[in-house]
Amino acid sequence: MALTLLPGTRVRLDPEQITKIDICCADTARVEVRIFLRDEATHHYFEFASKAAAVDFYRQVWQLRSGEHLADREIESLMVNNGAELA
């Protein structure tokens, strides 16, 4: 279990334990990113004042978990489809 500090936070977790990442517009002023972990009933919740900041955070967490870099269009697609489940 290799704990990693999530970008711009004080939260440490093992990226290999991430099972799902959601990104959604909570309202006109807030965007949320939720990270679900294997064997944890609750999720980690991060709120951002701008879509750009949330997308950047999402991209960095995704890269920690999968090693892949997502383009803006791919993230927009994930927002429409309520995030991504990871194996």
Domain positions in the chain are: 12-85
pLDDT score of 85? 56
Q: 37-83, pLDDT tens digit by residue?
A: 998 888 899 999 888 898 889 888 888 887 777 776 776 676 666 55
| Residue 34 or 76, more confident | 34
pLDDT score of 57? 92
Query: Backbone phi, then psi, for 22, in 5-degree steps?
Result: -110, 145
Sign of torsion, CA 42 48 51 57?
negative
| Residue 31 or 81, more confident | 31
Give the C-alpha distances (Å, rounded to integers) separating 70 from 11, 14, 76. Answer: 22, 20, 10
User: pTM, whole model, 2 decimals?
Assistant: 0.76
Give the C-alpha distances (Å, rounded to integers) separating 15 from 26, 29, 36, 59. Answer: 25, 28, 10, 13
Q: Residue 87 pLDDT more than 50?
A: no
| Residue 30 or 67, more confident | 30
